[in-house]
Structure formats: C-alpha cells, structure tokens
Amino acid sequence: MGNIFKSVNYTVRRDIAVLIALITLIFFPVFTYIFNSDGGNLKFKDITGNMYYMLTMEGYIFLVLIILLITCRIIGSDMSDKTINFEILYGQKMINIYAARVICAFLWSVLLVTILYAYPVVMFSVVNGFGEGIKEKDMVVRYMLSLFPSLRIVSFLILFTCALRNAGKAIALGYVLVEGAVILGSILQEFDVKSTYIFGIMNELAVFNAAESLKKTAPFTIIVSIVMTLIYLIIGYYIFSKKEGE
C-alpha cells in the first residue's frame, strides 16, 4: 500500500487543478481583506486574529469547495485513465488500492486544507494581536473539532466519486449537492428544524460558530461524524471494489 500511496501523492502534487486550489487558499487572507475592507475603512493593520476568524467563519463554504475539488481529483482521476486497472494487474489488493487513496484524500483535503485555512489567524495574531472576542483556547478547540465533520464530508465525496467513477462529473454534481445542503439546511432552520447533524457542512458551520456551545456541539459532532464516516467509507469500498473489479 505504501507504494500506491506514494504514487497517488506524486500525482496529486503535480495536479494543476489541485495546485491552483491550494495557491488560492494561501492567498485567501488577501481576498478576505478586499471583500471586507468596506471601501478602505478597514485597514489591514486593524485586523486581529479574532477579527479574521469572525470574517471567515461564514466563508467556510469556500473551504468545502476546495475539499470537494481535491478529493474528487484524488479519487476519480485514476478511475478515468484506468490507472487502477494496472494496479490490479500488478497484483495489488483492492483494499490497499482503496485505502491508499482514502488516506491521501484525508491528508490533502482535511489536514493540509485546514492548516492553510487556519494559518492566517496565527499570522494576524502575531502581527496585529489576537484581539477581543472568542478565547484562544476555544478557537483552537473549534479548529481541531472541525476535523471530524471534515472527515465526514470527505468520506461522502469519496463514496460519491466512486459511484460516478469520474472526477469531473463528481466535482460538478458535488458542487450542486454542497450548495443544496446549505440551502436546505438554512430552510429547515427557518422552520425551527435542527439540521446541524443532518448535513456534514451544517455541522461544520455550527462548530465554527462562536455562538454555539462547544459542550453541546462537541459530543454529537464527534459521534455522528465518526459513525457517518465509517458508513460512507464502507459503502464507498463496496462500490469501488465492485466497479473496479469488473
């Protein structure tokens, strides 16, 4: 499995779409400042770590779209060019082929992207101070807790891409699903229907929302995310092994 992982990771590092997505994420603080500068009234030197966190909290949908692109490219690209068929012919076990791609997707789509999304908070805190608002410890816990619904989202996208067997189709339809989940979740909330744990992205937004109590949100977020992640991965492997084994 190690060789498969190295091969997939090598391909991802040279994927232009993935590189553009990550570069965009690196410059996300600049875009955030431009869109929230209020005609120049908000100065760059006035943005504290706490203020940046609050400015980007609702912008998490952008991060999900980056995760969508990277995950679908990692899982779906090799399905389109028949690379997986060659791995099977060389005697690799189906479970190893699947597991290597899942691990790679988790590392790139969850860990790396979350770090890139969080680094500006550290940068602004060092340069302009942390500021008033949410406490540092509370913010760190929220970023760490966000990894759980992120894993759930990625696992669903893995299943989704395995079913479609095409990265392009998965990205296009996945975008529709992501936007649809946000819209439907918002509508349900208008009717006082708790949609926090129905959709992974709504759970993620609740985690980042400073108004939500961590004591209430954390246990359900961890349990629901782990259960749904396992379900998605098991179903995803079943689809993957059936379709690629044919």
Q: How far apart are CA 118 and CA 121, in angstroms?
A: 6
What gap in Å lies between CA 77 and CA 116, rounded to an integer? 24
Q: What pLDDT sits at residue 81?
A: 67
Residue 105: per-residue pLDDT: 92
Q: For residue range 214-232, what is the model confidence (pLDDT) as tens digits?
A: 888 899 999 999 999 999 9
In this prediction, residue 151 carries a pLDDT of 93
**Percent of the chain at pLDDT above 90?**
26
Output the CA torsion 98→104→107→112 (10° steps): -140
Look at residue 13 and tell me whether its pLDDT is greater than 90: no
pLDDT of residue 58: 62
Q: What is the mean pLDDT of the chain?
A: 84
> How sure is the predictor about 243, in pLDDT bands with cuts at 50, 70 and 90?
low
Helix H or strand E encompassing 41: none
**Lowest mean per-residue pLDDT among 48-52, 88-92, 93-97:** 88-92
Alpha helices in 107-165 (DSSP H): 113-128, 136-145, 147-164
Q: How far is CA 161 from CA 22, 145, 205, 237, in A?
A: 21, 25, 24, 11
Got the DSSP string for 100-114?
Answer: HHHHHHHIIIIIIHH
**Whole-angstrom distance, CA of residue 170 vs CA of residue 30:** 29
In the chain, domain spans: 2-245
Q: What is the reported pLDDT for 225?
A: 95
- pTM of the model as a whole: 0.88
Confidence bin at 103 (pLDDT 50/70/90): very high
| pLDDT tens digits along 192-205 | 667 788 888 889 88
Tens of pLDDT, residues 15-72: 888 888 888 888 877 777 666 666 556 777 778 888 888 877 766 778 888 889 999 9
